[in-house]
Chain A
Amino acid sequence: GQNIDQPTEMTATEGAIVQINCTYQTSGFNGLFWYQQHAGEAPTFLSYNVLDGLEEKGRFSSFLSRSKGYSYLLLKELQMKDSASYLCAVRGYNNNDMRFGAGTRLTVKP
């Protein structure tokens, strides 16, 4: 079965750093993805981890620990436009399916 957990809501201040956690228990694992979804829009791809460690991409970084079934998305120098939902997703062994957590709604305040 699949169980992907992340906090429902988070609030942070403009210019700050925020970490969004994701834990997963899945029958197969072949990569973890983070997507961003602004209200009323489609999700868009942010990052991908398949090996343990930190992947950095500008203001966004994503970390993976496969042994702990744990990932986080780190957002630095927060901007108002970062207010969105952040979705954690796990790819299964057969490389043909991807399942999502319920998403974390991030609100960035001035």
Chain B
Amino acid sequence: DVKVTQSSRYLVKRTGEKVFLECVQDMDHENMFWYRQDPGLGLRLIYFSYDVKMKEKGDIPEGYSVSREKKERFSLILESASTNQTSMYLCASSLKGLRELFFGEGSRLTVL
């Protein structure tokens, strides 16, 4: 079974802190994605990566950056957390060609 693991299920941070959200997949998938999910807005694409060291902006990249140094790991970075970044963050991976996404359990971030 494909396993996508997100490092933290729940985080509470303060405004201005730097936040790292880590995601690891164990199926040698080329594509990895970061989404945020908010009530009424659904899943919104922040960034995706189709190869090591490659990244593409999604629909809402402002305030976020990403890192993909190894194929299995895709990190989301909030350089200076703000309260409007309080959300559920979902990582996903897929094979090249993108037939289906496999999601992690999610990281619920609260910024105070």
Chain A contact residues, CB within 8 Å of chain B: 2, 8, 31, 33, 35, 41-45, 48, 87, 89, 91, 95-103
Q: How many residues of B contact A (CB 8 A)?
A: 26
**Given the complex, which residues of B lie within 8 Å of A43, measured CB to CB?**
43, 90, 101, 103
Is residue B70 contacting chain A, with contact meaning CB distance below 8 A? Answer: no
* A100-B42 in contact given A33-B100, A95-B97, A95-B98 (Cβ < 8 Å): yes
Q: How many A-B residue pairs have CB under 8 A?
A: 57
- Given B50, B59, B90, B106, which contacts A96 in the complex, CB threshold below 8 Å? B50
In the bound complex, how far is the Cα of B100 from the Cα of A42, in angstroms?
14
* A103-B48 in contact given A48-B99, A91-B98 (Cβ < 8 Å): no
In the bound complex, how far is the Cα of B19 from the Cα of A51, in angstroms?
42
State which residues 72-112 of B face A: CB under 8 Å: 90, 96-106
